[in-house]
Amino acid sequence: MSLAYQCPLCQQTLQLSNKSLRCDNNHTFDYAKEGYVNLLPVQHKNSKQPGDNLDMVQARREFLNTGHYHFLQQAIAKLVSEQSPNNVIDLGCGEGFYTQAIANFCKGEVYGVDISKSAVKYAAKRYQNCQFSVASISQAPFADNQADVLVSIFAPLFEQELGRLASPDAALIVASPGPWHLKELKQKIYREVNAHTPIPVPIGFELITQTLIEQSVRLSFAEVKNLITMTPFAWKFRPEHWQALEQQGEQNVTLSFYLSHFKKKC
């Protein structure tokens, strides 16, 4: 079953009319020429440009294009398709790198939601096999208990919202940093690097499997630069750190991820 979007202003179901979505209260949201719909009303924005900015989006796009995260992308898409979902929501989908791979593996309808307009614009322009919207995942624009699989890849988790969106048998699949993810880069800025731990089981879900997926890759300075720029710790890198990285040239970097599969509790 495909999912109907919900009006972010009055929670009524949105119906397609021409190239817009409209609720019974006449709240209207137009599809952009790239094919996504913006369901983030100005009054719900807490900044002018919420979510990842264009620099982060471009850096992530370039880094993901190198193929170094291909092994994670394929593992996620395979795990999602094994659930045989009728529909999937990728919460905090960014540029749609994982969303479109999931859509390639699954027969069901795949939705990508992100608060960053720059990211969604890019995703919708590039990938036609999913439905993308700009919206907050703290109040996702879908009805209660309809989603078969919820996916969260390095995105914030809003526990209550996950429970609300999930259908009775739903799966929740979360990718989060593994113990020594990007250890070599973090050592440049932190005196001590602490290992990441697996994410706690979200309220209302039970753990099915938790897999650690790791690879060590050799990256050029340009790749390292993009990899750092797309992470939240980029702002910690000062000019002397960038200089040292550039002088080093190529280096080995650990990529490490927890892939957690939860199921909604009956």
Ligand X SMILES: C[S@@+](CC[C@H](N)C(=O)[O-])C[C@H]1O[C@@H](n2cnc3c(N)ncnc32)[C@H](O)[C@@H]1O
Footprint of ligand X (CB under 6 A)? 51-52, 60, 92-94, 97, 114-116, 119, 136-138, 153-156
CB of 8 to ligand X, least distance (A): 12
Alpha helices, H only, the chain = 54-65, 70-81, 97-105, 117-126, 159-165, 183-186, 221-229, 239-248
CA 14 to chain centre: 24
CB of 182 to ligand X, least distance (A): 13
For ligand X, give the closer residue by CB, 84 or 138: 138
The answer to whether 12 and 6 are in contact (CB under 8 A) is yes
For residue 123, the number of C-alpha atoms closer than 13 Å in the C-beta half-sphere is 33
Strand partners of residue 28: 22
For ligand X, give the closer residue by CB, 155 or 224: 155
What six digits make up the tokens of 204?
Answer: 């209302």
CB of 112 to Zn ion, least distance (A): 22
The answer to whether 222 and 248 are in contact (CB under 8 A) is no
Query: What x-and-dash track marks residues 3-22 binding Zn ion by CB under 5 A?
Result: ----x-xx-x----------
CB of 12 to Zn ion, least distance (A): 5
Query: Alpha-carbon distance 36 to 30, whole Å?
Result: 9
Type of residue at 112: G
Query: What x-and-dash track marks residues 174-213 binding Zn ion by CB under 5 A?
Result: ----------------------------------------
Strand partners of residue 217: 253
With CB under 5 to 8 Å by kind, the binding choice for 51 among Zn ion, ligand X, none is ligand X
With CB under 5 to 8 Å by kind, the binding choice for 44 among Zn ion, ligand X, none is none
For Zn ion, give the closer residue by CB, 12 or 254: 12
**18 to 47, contacts with Zn ion by CB under 5 A?**
23, 25, 27
